[in-house]
Structure 1
Amino acid sequence: MKVEWDTEFRGFSVDAGAYLAALPGLKGVLPDGAWEFVSDAGHYSFSSDRCVKDLELAEVSLPVAKSAGPAAIGFLPNPWKHPAGLRIEYVGVTGFSVEYHDSIDWMEAITVLLDEVRPVPGGGIVHEIELTDATIVVRCADLVAVWQKE
């Protein structure tokens, strides 16, 4: 995943090319939910309404008790692109981190630039989501992604 700030154009340059080239080799390696999510035909097609780019971060839910439900991230739809928002629930979470970058003052919302799901040696996955102002990294057994109408 390549995400860089372009100072000349004052915007982000994103490139999923290397990940997309490696993606077919992850079939059968990624757990079912993760594979279904990243192999969706529209996931990395920036003009698709199923592309995660431009979704707005709305909620991060980290339960304090194991019985309280799964960790989850909710995204609102971009009104010019998505007919539905996205909720991702994480199964068997072993790590969850948010690293903030320099804030982009002129943007009202924190939005998704690019994401990728990679297998972890010994089992499980890591889901890395690059946002305009932060990076979220989740280590878990699998994920379930559901597009939701508001």
Structure 2
Amino acid sequence: MKHVRVEATGTGNYLDPRAYLRLLPALSPELPPGARAFAADPDHYDFPGKRCVKDLVLDTLLRGTTDGEDWLQLGFRHNCWKHDEDLSIRYAGLRTLTHDPAAWTGFGAVTLDEILPHDHGCSHEIGFLAGSLTVVSRDLTAAWTEADCPDK
């Protein structure tokens, strides 16, 4: 990621979105509406918050074409210790999807993410404990839905 810091330490990960959050007011006008709303949500980087992306786990990936436009949908499963909801992100006007490692093997939990303006609309890089995904699209829509936490 360009501005969000995710660094491995001997005991875990150092996560710091502050540089990105300082730039976000200047970047926001350049982001498409859905990407801007998701990036600027005050809970997005609030680590103890219920709608922070940290600790979500990617569990679905759907890809298709509607009316000649490619789309991608990523589904993230909640962590019952932290979240009350699952997250779904739909990318309209999909341009590229890249991932590291190249094999689709368990990425683990989300560390943090970063949404930036792009010539095609926006880029969304998602860091995981064991890799990353980057999506370039015209825009994205994020939706939270109630999760099935049995102990809540």
TM-score category (smaller protein): 0.7 to 0.9
User: In the alignment, which residue of structure 1 is the partner of 2:33?
Assistant: 32
Name structure 2 gaps, 5 residues minimum. 148-152
CA RMSD after TM alignment: 1.8
2:132 is equivalent to residue 135 of structure 1: yes
Whole-Å separation in 2 of the counterparts to 1:95 and 1:123: 10
- 2:110 pairs with 1:112: yes
1:61, CA displacement in angstroms?
1.6
The letter of the residue matching 1:141 is R
**One-letter amino acid of the counterpart of residue 22, structure 1:** L
Q: Which residue of 2 aligns with 1:104?
A: none
* Higher share in strand: 2
Q: Distance in 1 between matches of 2:107 and 2:146?
A: 19
Structure-1 separation of matches of 2:33 and 2:137: 13
Partner of 1:2: 5
Structure 1 residue 50: deviation in Å? 0.9
Cα pair 2:107 2:132 within 8 Å, conserved: no
Q: 1-side partners of 2:101 and 2:120: how far apart?
A: 28
Question: What is the deviation of 1:123?
Answer: 4.1
Q: CA deviation at 1:62?
A: 2.2
Match of 1:49 in 2: 50
1:126 aligns with 2:86: no
Q: What is the TM-score with the length of structure 1 in the denominator? A: 0.86
Q: Distance in 2 between matches of 1:148 and 1:74?
A: 11
Distance 1:22 1:110 in 2: 28
Counterpart in 2 of 1:105?
none
- Superposition misfits of 4+ residues, deviation over 2 angstroms: 67-70
Structure 1 range deviating more: 109-118 or 36-45: 109-118
Unpaired runs of at least 5, structure 1: 102-107
Amino acid at match of 2:66: S
Distance 1:139 1:114 in 2: 17
- Structure 1 distance, partners of 2:7, 2:46, is 18
Is 1:83 the counterpart of 2:84 in the alignment? yes
1:19 and 2:13 are equivalent in the alignment = no
TM-score by length of 2: 0.85
Q: Which amino acid aligns with 2:143?
A: V
SS at match of 1:28: helix
